Amino acid sequence: MKGEGKMVFKSKLKWVGLVGLVLSAFSLFTHFLLARYTDGGFSDYPSAITIFSWRPVFEDVHLSIANPLYRRLWGPVRRLESLHPLPNPRGGYAVPVLQTTGFIFVRIRGGFHEIRNSICDAVVIARLLNATLVIPEIQSTTSSKGISSEFKSFAYLYNEDQFIAALAKDVSIIKTLPKNLKGARRKKEIPSFKLPSSASPFFYLRHVLPVLNKHSVVEVVVSDGGCLQAILPPNLEEYQRLRCRVAFHALRFRQEVQELATRTLNRLRAPGRPFIAYDPGMTRDALAYFGCAELFQRSWMIKRGIVKGNLTVDSTEQRRNGSCPLMPEEIGILLRAYGYSWDTVIYVSGGEVFGGQKKLIPLHAMFENVVDRTSLTTAWELNNIYGRETSLIDTYLRDTPPDKEEMKLEAWKTVGPRPRPLPPPPARPKYYNSEGWWGWVAESDNEPESTVMELRTNAHKLLWEAIDYAICLGADVFIPGFDRDGKGRPSFASLVMGHRLYQSAAAKTYRLDRKEVVKHLEEIRDHLYQANHTWITSIRRHLRKNLLDGLTEESSRSKPLSFLSFPIPECSCLRSGSTGKSVDGSSPSAHLHLLAALGVTHPCPAWMDNDVSSHLRGKENEEDLDEDDSTSSGLFFEHINGNHEDGGAELSSKDEGQMEDQEELENGDR
């Protein structure tokens, strides 16, 4: 009986445990179900984005495409809709001959935008000299930099096969040097040229071509963001179009990088809202070069002749001149003043924001949905594009060499009387990256050599910038905080603006006049968040005006330094029939004046006209509406204190509607 009682008791315990497990499972299921469906409008988005740190927060109100406010904020720039990309040769353009003058081997140093410019120049030089181009070697992605052995330099970032196939009718390209020349390169028997970005075609024909004919191979080292002048003579205009074919068609990221960029872009678009891409451009080198900050780095640049000028520069004056980046807070104020609401999606590109993430806090306070690459990708996805990398043990400590035993013994004999006090503890090893990048300045005139871990990270940054580049191209709106690098040349942002101008000229790209913007901001410096009607009107007028006027400014500022930053009119055509009528509320003469200023006169092919005209027929009613924003609310800093309803707005809908009507009339008279 006693044994039977124990068996019954154990059986009851099993049933109790089973019931407990069932109830626990049911409780978990109910919990997940409630979490998924009781979050209102915040959870009505595809689950693909819920595994990331970004949780999109939107108002219920969503502007339709037909809304005038939507067209003002996100719609195309009407006067540029007649411009279309046309990089194909015009006139006699021969295919490359089989018998070339020799081989050109190019080694490229620099960042993402410098590499892209340099590759285009290398292809043009090979065509100019009728030489066979060896796939360029990117110095920051060689095997010695600690990257995966799966990739070889160029292939770490770009698709080699696509590059060769796309340029088959332009230049002969091979992946590696012939075996007999590889040995000569290892022995450093190949003649080498280190050329600046301002080298002319005449220099290559006069100095490089004879050496190439004699040795059948030359090496070109490019470290200046290019090796051929940006503006070429009119008789070499076909070489400018070749640059466009290289940059915008032949240079495709390798498959893994392109797929991740596409997935990231899809996650941004998953909520069904347009988004802004913002590039801060706040790098330490740029700040030092233009005298905006960091005297240590500027001193180093002056010693090496990178900067010519005084060490001490009035940073405030530089900022007023428009030579310094706009701060993220200032960009946020401009966007809110223009009418972008608190729930606008903003993608922040770029791997480095000098001053750290704290500089982005004001932007996060003004906009709820500020994201970057890390918010939209997982660590696993990023590791996947790096490939299989060997483990590195890097303590980031540079230990002093150990003392010899003889020296220690001699010091023991000659030291003072005993008993001796204990020696002080050894100083903590210093490393410049852990105490600020300037930590080495007091100890050495030269920056210490980078560790393998740092070199690997620099290679990873190229992949990060490739993802950012693809997303910035696909953005509905692009706005740069700065467009110059640490050498005073067009930067990553300039490259993006040039590609967007080529690919879709009408896409909204704000080319800010920083000098004017700073002047406007100084007017309300003491009350940045309580702007009045007049100030908001002037900001909106400035931003809208520079959508067009900024183009003519860029053609004179950036194009002489980097052709890819402004590839028109050489690589664009004009849709026939567009010169006789206005495409917006302005007069036809204003439209013609703009096209004349840009220099675009070549008509597009007939097949392109037919394709475009069918697309525009559906927009006729929209053209008539133009950009009348009489119903827009666009309340300034509505959500700045977390209040979705009234939030301290300074403008009423009626007042703003009147302001927009007046602004439209002024634009029509311009």
Strands 192-195, 345-348: pairing kind: unpaired
Identify the pLDDT of residue 622.
38
The two tokens of residue 323 are: 């030579």
What are the counts of helices (DSSP H) followed by strands (DSSP E) for the chain?
Answer: 25, 13
* Distance between first and last Cα of the chain: 105
531 within 8 A of 636, measured Cβ to Cβ: yes
Say how far apart CA 567 and CA 152 lie, in whole Å.
Answer: 30
Per-residue pLDDT at 441: 53
Which residues face 404 on adjacent strands?
none
Residue 357: what are its φ and ψ, rounded to 5°? -65, -15
Instruction: Tell me the mean pLDDT per 10 residues along the chain, length 670.
Output: 58 77 81 57 38 68 80 91 90 81 93 95 96 93 78 91 95 91 84 91 95 93 92 93 96 96 94 93 82 62 63 75 90 93 92 78 92 91 88 53 63 66 67 48 64 86 95 96 88 95 94 92 84 89 91 90 94 72 53 74 77 45 39 45 42 43 44
Output DSSP code: residue 47: G
Q: Find all residues with CB under 8 Å of 439, minimum gap 6, and list them.
A: 430, 431, 432, 433
Quote the pLDDT of residue 143.
73
Report pLDDT for 451.
Answer: 80
Structure confidence at residue 656 (pLDDT): 46
- pLDDT of res. 650: 41
- How high is the pLDDT of residue 346? 96
Q: What is the pLDDT of residue 188?
A: 84
In single-letter form, the type of residue at position 110 comes to G
Q: What is the pTM of this model?
A: 0.80
- How many whole angstroms separate alpha carbon 670 and alpha carbon 665? 9
Give the pLDDT score at 659.
Answer: 45
Judged on CB neighbours under 10 Å (0-12, 13-18, 19+), 4 is exposed
